[in-house]
Amino acid sequence: MNQIITQITFDAFETEEYEDFVTILDGGPAENSSVVMAILSGSKKPETLISSTNVMVVRFSSDTQIQARGFEANWRATSISCGGILKAQPYGQIFTSPDYPKNYPSGVECVWKIDADPGQLISLDIEELDLERANDFLQIYDGGTPLAPILARLTGTFSNPQLIISTQSQLYIYFYSNFARNGRGFSITYKRGCSNRIRLDKGIITSPGYTRISYPNSQRCIYTVELPDRNSEQPTAFAINSFDVAEDDRLMMFEEVEGGRALHPGDGFSAISRPPKSIFAQTGIVQIVFTTNSIRNGLGWNITFSTNCPPLQTPKLVSLSTKASAFGTKVTASCPRGYEFRTGRGQMFDITCQLGGKWTEDHIPDCQ
């Protein structure tokens, strides 16, 4: 659905601060039917303002005291796309917030409805999200109407892609922005099915519907976790954050591809054969296969993955409690008795391998 909005940009701005004002209102033509977008004063050039309608009111008021240069602005009307009915295909397609990657307009409400073939799930790859925290949001419903269960509510900013998978063959997605601040918005890739390739050096993967809805029956989802090229030869670490599956459902993990070296016992992790807290692969590609039966289900699972940290470089006299460098590993660095670290850290301190393969310390200092 297309709609016309108004955009105003100030090329110069100087008014008597706290006394002379420029008020920008969204809507009209009468002020009592408009919403105040901004009240401007002083010498700081304002950001570009975007209305939610094709009417914008600019009101200038000044007192009888000090004068200033005033302001110069230009405006334009533009058409934006907001919402629509989408059909999920086996390949990825993209929808974005209005005017992305420019800032989205204030005061908009958009609805997208995504349909897949009956029995097919829908995968959403949230590639970028930049919304005013709390006030502007994206709400994803696990079904074709706003009466369906809420699958996710997204707000704020993150740049690390996030994967969300439905439990139904329809999604209803609602975007709201208020009349205050705004951001770049969002870019989302959608496709049918629950099998996905994740090319990141860190992230979180979950079962369909996690954490709000039990995963669906009779599904087979394949997650291929592939570290980026620069890390493709490095091992991969997995932290099992939660795991709740039915007795007959299975989670299998393989190095490289299905049929490669198994990281699970027997026919897979299950309610009876639960996974350990940490799993380590020797490769930068791991395939996770999740199969569900036709009767029972559970809340699902949540797994963090990360590339490992590089080996620690140690100065003379420094000893390490372990040479391990996997994600989550805590290493104690220590000096011999009678020595301490030059930086005033005492005789010993801990270093931890963080998400994304970065140590909590850039380097280990000398002993003295």
Say if 347 falls within a structural domain.
yes
What does the alpha-carbon distance between residue 170 and residue 87 come to, in Å, rounded to a whole number?
A: 9
- In a 3-state reduction of DSSP, which class is residue 230? helix
Could you write out the DSSP letters of every residue in 103-171?
PPPSS-EEEEEEE--TT--EEEEEEEEE--TTTSEEEEESSSSTTSPEEEEE-SEE-S-EEEE-SSSEE
pLDDT of 342 strictly over 80? yes
**Final residue of a structural domain among 137, 160, 193:** 193
152 shares its domain with 89: yes
Burial per residue of 62-76, b for 16 or more beta-carbon CB atoms within 10 angstroms, e otherwise: eeeeeebeebebeee
88 shares its domain with 186: yes
pLDDT tens-digit profile of 163-198?
Answer: 999 999 999 999 999 877 889 999 999 999 999 999
pLDDT tens-digit profile of 54-105?
Answer: 888 999 999 988 889 999 999 988 777 789 999 999 999 999 999 899 999 8
183 shares its domain with 92: yes
328 shares its domain with 259: no
Q: Structurally, how many domains does the chain consist of?
A: 4
Neighbours of 317 (CB within 10 A): 12
Widest Cα–Cα separation across the chain: 85
- In a 3-state reduction of DSSP, which class is residue 332? strand
Looking at every residue in the chain, the average pLDDT score rounds to 92
Those residues whose C-beta lies under 8 Å from the C-beta of residue 302, and which sit 6 or more positions away, are 204, 205, 206, 207, 210, 211, 240, 241, 242
Those residues whose C-beta lies under 8 Å from the C-beta of residue 335, and which sit 6 or more positions away, are 317, 318, 341, 347, 348, 367
β-strand partners of 269: 251
263 shares its domain with 180: no
CATH of the domain at 285: 2.60.120.290
Burial per residue of 90-122, b for 16 or more beta-carbon CB atoms within 10 angstroms, e otherwise: eeeeebbbbbbebbbbbbbebebbbbbeeebbb
250 shares its domain with 232: yes
Say if 367 falls within a structural domain.
no
**Residue 20 DSSP symbol:** S
Q: Structure tokens of 134?
A: 């709390």
67 shares its domain with 160: no
Say if 238 falls within a structural domain.
yes
Say if 368 falls within a structural domain.
no
Say if 366 falls within a structural domain.
no
What does the alpha-carbon distance between residue 317 and residue 4 come to, in Å, rounded to a whole number?
A: 69
Q: Structure tokens of 123?
A: 């995968």
Stretch among 1-5, 50-54, 105-109 having the lowest mean pLDDT: 1-5
Domain with 345, as residue range(s), is 319-359
296 shares its domain with 213: yes
189 shares its domain with 201: no
Say if 312 falls within a structural domain.
no
**Final residue of a structural domain among 193, 225, 243:** 193
pLDDT of 48 strictly over 70? yes
Say if 313 falls within a structural domain.
no
- In a 3-state reduction of DSSP, which class is residue 229? helix
**Final residue of a structural domain among 31, 62, 80:** 80
Q: What pLDDT, on a 0 to 100 scale, did the predictor assign at position 205?
A: 97
68 shares its domain with 8: yes
Q: Is residue 34 very low, low, confident or very high in pLDDT (cuts 50, 70, 90)?
A: confident
